[in-house]
Structure 1
């Protein structure tokens, strides 16, 4: 192998190394771009999920208010019913007691 063949082999090897370095740089750039894209998608997903959770929270608060109104109404009706029954019993005892 003479010096000319050796120089040619080194040139080919250098060209291959340069190609590998360029391919690695391209890969790193694509990885950065992909990372930024994924970060953007995660941000959008987080914002969407946050909005959905807030919407569900608002709905649950509305349901809790309705539940409180219904239970309060049932309690008020029950109390009125019991009061009227006790009042009727007192009136009945008074009338029966006075009728003797």
Structure 2
């Protein structure tokens, strides 16, 4: 499981969602990177739905829907595929993720 984010080859910043230019350095040399997990920073409960900000190391901060029992500080797997996995995951919709470049 993972989520695809953009990585600036000039300054090393990671961005989500897709950008045309790096917001940190203005560079256009952007590639994709797969991020597998992050740490829950904040939780918001909307009835049965739990939304969280999930910090990746070192960047970006993602907003995701949580599945499974999760608390602030927990490390969760990231996925762009909804559905039960048997363990806590953070779901980021695929329409918001860039396509992974082939190497």
Q: TM-score per shorter chain, which class?
A: under 0.3
User: Which has the larger share of helix?
Assistant: 1
User: Which has the larger share of strand?
Assistant: 2
User: Which of these two proteins has the greater Rg computed from alpha carbons?
Assistant: 1
TM-score of the two chains, using structure 2 as the length reference = 0.11
TM-score of the two chains, using structure 1 as the length reference = 0.12
Question: Of the two structures, which has the highest relative contact order with CA contacts closer than 8 Å and spacing of 6 or more?
Answer: 2
